[in-house]
């Protein structure tokens, strides 16, 4: 370990590094399969993962040791200023943040990194209930609103390179139907970015795997289902979490296969994570290969994992340790070795942007036994339609406990079991990425789904008040239709605009992009707006779709 420096010394060093830096960081855009800065130079991501690890609970259901909580790395201006000299010593131009809290202030960190010429790749998901569940994915209003609100908060910063709509959602062939929801997320996020005239790219970070999984996944996320060479549903940036190069390996042993697999890929690709930990300290000799003329025709750099300590199923990662009082940074051999390799990296400035070629979007992979994703995508979740529906439902979910996330799933199972026993169906709240069939209410958040099936049962039993109780968690809506025909008519009217695609909008009360006032130095907004309330519910409720899909899969109700 190298001698650590105190925070005061770090501040002085930060000032030295910032001298003469142009605060107007250049915009990075994609031309064909390559990235370029505004002056026409090829841009390579020379990055590091920058996120302290949250709480990790090891269990059979968490084989990857994914955290259940998170620490927003871009909300603590003091910590970002502390770390800046070390990031500059590493020579990075990009950091990847895996989870951020849109209710906090990020001005200090984002400005600090922008002034230093450092871009950010921001994952839009949150651990647990704020992520697309790989076992039972959905694309609903609360997840879309969570994504859009994060973009809304970060749209005022000039150093957001890309937003990731997912990380390792698809990990095996029997879960490839989840790709339809990832692609729908990319479609809607891209539409929103275009509507606010943002140049940020839309990305996805994939687990590494066999070519039989990786090839169709990458091609599906960058394809055009319409066959009209449109990029409306395609990602801009495919990230591969690749740990194949261990120790002092070689291109032939570690990268030749994946290089060939992506040789003809149509959008930009990079290693969204790399840095095998099996033989510490890490030598990082893969940097020389990744930024060489041999790999630059295919790859646009990568993100080394991880600046902060992190535990995973592979082992213990990390290049620095932070003292308990947060003031001291101590670097390791991993840090020094990466610093040396990044300093030596000199990728070619080719092809010229004028020769990068026009964007092309091929047809999508055909479904087969190992690739299940349909080219019929879920609709754009419509918040207004779902709210209209909720207001017109005869039996509304009014939980008897503040911890209502603990009961929504069980109540959905129970309500749909009752409906199934009476000959009905919960198809309206189901979604299937393999068949391309999505129930009319499947885009709404789980509490509205629950109110919908509770209302269905309530009306089916003759509008008996007791049928709306559900253990004291339901209340009859006296203003809603009480007959089946009137209820169906009201629901149909609300959901008439909820099919197909549209440009997403934020819920009422949200500030316009880059229009919210905020103070520097970090901390929460003093007066939360309506969108903050909606998104607080979104973060809490995102996992409920899992229960819905599990209930369907286990046969608890009939799918029409």
Which residues are part of the catalytic machinery? 168, 273
Q: Residue 433: name the closest of 224, 218, 178 by CA.
A: 178
Cα-based torsion angle of the residue sequence 149, 117, 162, 446 in order, rounded to the nearest 10 degrees: -30
Quote the CA–CA distance of 54 and 66 in Å, as a whole number: 9
Distance between CA 556 and CA 170 in Å, rounded? 25
Ramachandran region, residue 360 (left: φ > 0; alpha: ψ -120 to 50; beta: rest): beta
- Cis amide linkage into residue 306, ω under 30° from 0: yes
- Regarding beta strands 315-317 and 310-312, do their DSSP bridges make them parallel or antiparallel, or are they unpaired? antiparallel
* Main-chain dihedrals φ then ψ at residue 274, nearest 5 degrees: -160, 160
For 101, 319, 348, 429, the CA distances from 299, given in Å and listed in that order, are 30, 24, 12, 41
d(CA 306, CA 318): 5
Q: Helices (DSSP H) in 35-134: which residue ranges? A: 77-90, 107-115
Whether the upstream peptide bond of residue 488 has omega within 30° of 0, thus cis, is: no
CA 430 to chain centroid, in Å, comes to 22
Radius of gyration, CA atoms only, the chain: 24
CA 304 to chain centre: 19
The answer to whether the beta carbons of residues 281 and 334 sit under 8 Å apart is: yes
CA-to-CA distance for 479 and 458, rounded, in angstroms?
15
DSSP labels for 480-534? S--SHHHHHHHHHHHHTTSSS-----PPTTPPPTT-S---SSS-B-SS--HHHHH
SS3 assignment for 231-294: CCCCCCEEEEECCCCCCCCCHHHHCHHHHHHCCCCCCEEEEEEECCCCCCCCCCCHHHHHCCCC
Neighbouring residues of 129: CB distance < 8 A, sequence distance ≥ 6: 405, 539, 540, 541, 542, 543, 544
Report the number of secondary-structure helices (H) and strands (E) in the chain: 16, 18
- In sequence order, the 6+-apart residues with CB closer than 8 A to the CB of 478 are none
Contacts of 429 (CB under 8 A, 6+ apart): 412, 439, 441, 442, 444, 449, 452, 453, 548
Selection from 491, 549, 510 nearest residue 102 by Cα: 510
């Amino acid at each position: 370990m190298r001698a650590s420096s105190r925070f005061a010394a770090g501040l002085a060093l930060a000032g030295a590094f910032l001298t003469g830096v142009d605060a107007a960081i250049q915009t990075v855009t994609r031309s064909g399969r390559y990235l370029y800065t505004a002056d026409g130079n090829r841009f390579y991501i020379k990055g590091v993962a920058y996120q302290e690890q949250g709480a990790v609970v090891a269990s059979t259901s968490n084989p990857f040791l994914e955290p259940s909580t998170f620490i927003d790395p871009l909300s603590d201006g003091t910590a970002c200023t502390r770390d800046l000299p070390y990031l500059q010593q590493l020579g990075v131009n990009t950091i990847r943040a895996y989870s951020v809290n849109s209710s906090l202030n990020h001005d200090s960190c984002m400005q600090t990194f922008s002034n230093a010429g450092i871009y950010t790749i921001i994952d839009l998901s949150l651990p647990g209930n704020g992520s697309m569940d790989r076992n039972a994915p959905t694309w609903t209003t609360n997840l879309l609103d969570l994504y859009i609100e994060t973009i809304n908060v970060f749209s005022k910063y000039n150093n957001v390179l890309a937003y990731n709509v997912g990380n390792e959602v698809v990990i095996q062939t029997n879960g490839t139907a989840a790709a339809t929801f990832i692609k729908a997320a990319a479609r809607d996020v891209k539409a929103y970015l275009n509507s606010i005239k943002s140049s940020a790219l839309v990305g996805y970070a994939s687990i590494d795997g066999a070519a039989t999984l990786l090839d169709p996944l990458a091609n599906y996320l960058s394809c055009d289902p319409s066959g009209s060479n449109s990029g409306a549903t395609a990602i801009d940036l495919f990230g591969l979490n690749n740990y194949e190069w261990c120790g002092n390996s070689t291109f032939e042993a570690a990268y030749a296969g994946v290089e060939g697999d992506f040789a003809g890929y149509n959008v930009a690709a990079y290693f969204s994570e790399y840095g095998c930990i099996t033989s510490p300290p890490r030598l990082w000799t893969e940097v020389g290969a990744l930024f060489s003329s041999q790999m630059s025709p295919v790859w646009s750099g990568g993100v080394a994992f991880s600046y902060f300590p992190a535990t995973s199923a592979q082992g213990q990662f990390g290049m620095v340790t932070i003292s308990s009082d947060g003031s001291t940074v101590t670097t390791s051999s991993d840090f020094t070795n990466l610093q040396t390799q990044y300093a030596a990296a000199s990728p070619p400035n080719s092809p010229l942007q004028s020769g990068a070629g026009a964007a092309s979007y091929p047809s999508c992979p055909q479904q087969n036994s190992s690739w299940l994703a349909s080219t019929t995508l879920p609709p754009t979740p419509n918040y207004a339609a779902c709210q209209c529906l909720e207001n017109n439902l005869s039996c509304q979910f009014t939980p008897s406990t503040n911890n209502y996330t603990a009961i929504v799933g069980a109540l959905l199972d129970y309500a749909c079991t009752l409906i199934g026993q009476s000959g009905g169906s919960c198809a309206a709240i189901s979604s299937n990425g393999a068949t391309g069939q999505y129930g009319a209410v499947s885009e709404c958040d789980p509490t509205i789904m629950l109110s919908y099936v509770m209302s269905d049962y309530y009306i089916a039993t003759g509008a008996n008040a007791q049928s709306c109780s559900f253990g004291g968690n339901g209340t009859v809506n006296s203003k809603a239709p009480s007959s089946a025909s009137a209820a169906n008519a009201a629901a149909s009217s609300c959901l008439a605009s909820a099919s197909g695609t549209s440009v997403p909008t934020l819920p009422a009360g949200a500030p316009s992009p880059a229009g919210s006032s905020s103070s520097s130095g970090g901390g929460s907004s003093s007066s939360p707006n309506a969108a903050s309330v909606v998104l607080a519910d979104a973060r809490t409720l995102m996992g409920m779709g899992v229960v819905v899909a599990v209930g369907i899969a286990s046969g608890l109700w009939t799918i029409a």
